[in-house]
């Protein structure tokens, strides 16, 4: 009996430790984002005690609520609108180069999944619309207006490769105060970069050009690396990815895991929560979003390892399809 009591206590302790670790992680991200929103560089936040004190004082109510489990915060979630892209980057981290038949995600799936997801959060700092190339999506206005209505959503970012000028019909939605277009600058490949910037200025659409900070690491091919659980756990800790991803109604820890599943390379039900299935619990969502352990997809990825060497961004392939992927 005594032993039974102790084992329950130990189980409860383990559960409590896990919950507290998740809350501390949530708190850390909330704190960093609050400081970043003030214009402080993330890497310098902790250098000045005045910065720490100012942020803590200004946000003490929410920080306390997070610690007590009464406020759920998320830094970023990506919604995939299409796997079509106007470029064919050989080393695309999101695996677009492996799609032989790229396709648009049904807008109803995107909205239904997000509706179910957002109810578990009090605040989501940024919802990112991605592809492939999200400006190729025919459903941009519908998705933006849908997202902008949620009080939980602070910002909506649209990541584009600078090749596409948005359609006239999308101007109104793109002017929404929450929306910003983030342009990845791949030099000559971003053939409409300047036209897009001028278009944004003319139509009063917010934008940010990502040039100097565009860094790519080699994430490797889709062969299993056969790493041990200990190696995978270390890799996961180093990876520290903060982009959660929703693809076809499934919530994943990161975009690479999402597309590994979609392409059929990694089929592991523990790696995701199907938001469109009948029952979805808060703990299932939090276990993915603030996971403390690695996923099956990590064994097909170099992130967080020494193999992730720096590479030139945007090297193009001749054709799409997995047969074109060079083996390392």
Under the rule (CB under 6 A), what is the footprint of ligand SF4?
85, 87-89, 92, 94, 96, 131-133, 161, 235-236, 239, 241, 253-254, 256-257, 295, 297-298, 301, 303-304
**Residue 278 CA to chain centroid, in angstroms?**
24
In the complex, least distance from residue 162 CB atom to ligand SF4, rounded to whole angstroms? 9
The two three-digit tokens of residue 303, written as one number: 């992130």
β-pair partners for 194: none
* Residue 182 CB burial class (10 angstroms; 0-12, 13-18, ≥19): middle
Cβ proximity to ligand SF4: between 7 and 238 the closer is: 238
Q: How far is the CB of 313 from ligand SF4 (least distance, A)?
A: 8
Report in angstroms how near the CB of residue 5 gets to ligand SF4 at its nearest: 38
Angle at 210 between CA 198 and CA 306, to 5 degrees: 160
Beta strand residue intervals within 111-178, DSSP E: 123-130, 153-160
CB of 143 to ligand SF4, least distance (A): 17
**In the bound complex, what is the minimum distance in angstroms from residue 327's beta carbon to ligand SF4?**
19
Cβ proximity to ligand SF4: between 200 and 298 the closer is 298
User: Cβ closer to ligand SF4: 71 or 294?
Assistant: 294
CB atoms within 10 A of CB 236: 20
Q: Which residues pair with 217 in a beta bridge?
A: 310
**Minimum CB distance to ligand SF4 smaller for 114 or for 253:** 253
What is the rounded distance in angstroms from the CA atom of residue 134 to the CA atom of residue 129? 6
Nearer to ligand SF4, 131 or 166 (CB): 131
d(CA 96, CA 88): 8
- Which CB atom, from 34 or from 77, has the smaller least distance to ligand SF4? 77
Compute the least distance from the CB of residue 84 to ligand SF4, in Å.
9
Residue 176 or 241: the one with the smaller Cβ distance to ligand SF4 is 241
CA 50 and chain centroid, separation:
31
Helices (H), 204-243: 229-239
Torsion of CA 272, 277, 278, 284, to 10 degrees: 10
**Whole-number minimum distance, CB 181 to ligand SF4, in Å?**
14
């Amino acid at each position: 009996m005594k032993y039974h009591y102790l084992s329950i206590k130990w189980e409860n302790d383990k559960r409590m430790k896990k919950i507290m670790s998740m809350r501390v992680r949530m708190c850390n991200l909330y704190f960093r984002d609050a400081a970043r929103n003030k214009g402080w560089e993330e890497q310098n936040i902790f250098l000045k005690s005045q910065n720490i004190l100012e942020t803590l004082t200004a946000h003490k109510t929410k920080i306390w609520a997070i610690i007590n489990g009464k406020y759920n915060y998320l830094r970023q979630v990506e919604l995939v609108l299409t796997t079509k892209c106007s470029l064919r980057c050989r080393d695309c981290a999101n695996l677009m180069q492996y799609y032989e038949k790229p396709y648009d995600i049904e807008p109803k799936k995107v909205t239904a999944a997000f509706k179910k997801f957002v109810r578990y959060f009090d605040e989501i700092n940024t919802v990112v619309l991605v592809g492939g190339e999200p400006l190729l999506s025919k459903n941009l206005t519908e998705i933006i207006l849908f997202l902008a209505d949620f009080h939980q959503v602070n910002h909506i970012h649209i990541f584009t490769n600078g090749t596409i000028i948005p359609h006239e019909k999308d101007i109104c939605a793109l002017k929404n105060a929450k929306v910003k277009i983030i342009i990845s600058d791949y030099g000559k490949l971003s053939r409409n970069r300047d036209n897009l910037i001028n278009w944004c200025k003319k139509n009063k659409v917010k934008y940010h050009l990502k040039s100097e900070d565009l860094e790519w690491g080699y994430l490797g091919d889709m062969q299993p690396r056969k790493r041990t659980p200990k190696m995978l756990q270390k890799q996961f800790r180093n990876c520290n990815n903060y982009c959660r991803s929703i693809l076809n109604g499934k919530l994943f820890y990161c975009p690479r895991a999402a597309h590994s599943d979609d392409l059929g390379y990694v089929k592991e039900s523990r790696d995701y929560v199907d938001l469109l299935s009948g029952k979805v619990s808060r703990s299932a969502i939090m276990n993915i979003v603030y996971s403390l352990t690695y996923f099956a997809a990590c064994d097909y990825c170099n992130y967080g390892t020494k193999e992730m060497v720096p590479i030139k961004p945007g090297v193009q392939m001749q054709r799409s399809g997995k047969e074109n992927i060079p083996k390392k």
